[in-house]
Amino acid sequence: MAALLAVEGLAKSYGSLLVTDNVSFSVAQGEAVGIIGPNGAGKSTLFNLISGDVRPDLGRVFLAGADVTALKPHARALQGIGRSYQIPQPFEDMSVLENLLVGALFAGRTRIANARDYCADVLRRTGLAPKAAARAGSLTLLERKRLELARALAVAPKLLLLDEIAGGLTDPEAHQLLETIRAIHMEGVTIIWIEHVLHALLPAISRLFVLNFGRLIAQGPPARIMADPAVRALYLGLDETEPAS
């Protein structure tokens, strides 16, 4: 399949700190991939470079073959990139529905006449329909995570970037969220998911990337990558000689 996203030689430094170091990879249309790595590995910075929140010092970002490196975040959203943030960032004094309408009308690819119906459908798919009129600031953590997902979907993305969306949830809550994300993927949305909650991430993806100190150090099928002694030592804190379970 053709690549929906391709990044070539991405590099980003803050002063003397190199946080993204010559990262290159591609993701096919309809694929679901995961990204793991220790804290400080540069995972969220990589998402910021893909979404346009941060400009790279070197390298390029392509979406469906078009170079979007110079585009600002709202322009990339119009091209089909939607993302969630590790810490939910809703407009707390707006209703849940209004939060989605902001994205659909100002950064999305939905016609104005259809925006309310589209957002109502997103709320249904993410389990937030009963909370449509609730103030976003009143939501529970799980509901805020679902709202973060719904806000990303409001832009009608071709590519959905999920940044630790299962963090802080209980196991049953993470399972609920996983089922929602699987359903979204089955609808044809391409997904790249950064996550520390491996039991939520691994069943949802077909390929896994590992970042460390800003470098992409491994990629491949999740089972093979998680059995790699170097990855286990780095990410799980296990001795390299310990057999994979």
**Would you state the pLDDT for residue 236?**
63
Measured in degrees and rounded to the nearest 5, phi and psi for residue 71 equal: -80, 145
Give 52: exposed, middle or buried? Use CB within 10 Å, 0-12, 13-18, 19+.
buried
**Would you state the pLDDT for residue 52?**
96
Domain architecture of the chain: domains with CATH? 1-80+157-245 (3.40.50.300), 87-154 (no CATH)
- For residues 136 and 147, the answer to whether their CB atoms sit within 8 Å is yes
pTM: 0.91
**DSSP assigned state of 135:** B
**DSSP assigned state of 49:** H
Give the integer Cα–Cα distance in Å for 88 and 68.
25
Q: Kindly give the confidence (pLDDT) of every residue in the chain, 245 residues in length, as a single tens digit, with 9 standing for 90 and above.
A: 689 999 999 999 999 999 999 999 999 999 999 999 998 899 999 999 999 999 999 999 999 999 999 999 999 999 999 999 988 889 999 999 999 999 888 876 667 778 899 999 999 999 999 999 999 999 999 999 999 999 999 999 999 999 999 989 999 999 999 999 999 999 999 999 999 999 999 999 999 999 999 999 999 999 999 999 988 887 666 444 444 44
Q: How many CB atoms lie within 10 A of CB 242?
A: 11
Distant-in-sequence contacts of 15-24, Cβ < 8 A, 24+ apart: 18/213, 18/214, 19/45, 19/214, 20/45, 20/46, 20/49, 20/56, 20/214, 21/213, 21/214, 21/215, 22/58, 22/59, 22/215, 23/59, 23/211, 23/214, 23/215, 23/216, 24/59, 24/216
Give the integer Cα–Cα distance in Å for 193 and 202.
10
Angle subtended by helix axes 141-153 and 96-106, to nearest 10: 20
**Would you state the pLDDT for residue 105?**
87
Polymer length of the chain: 245
**Would you state the pLDDT for residue 110?**
65
**Would you state the pLDDT for residue 108?**
62
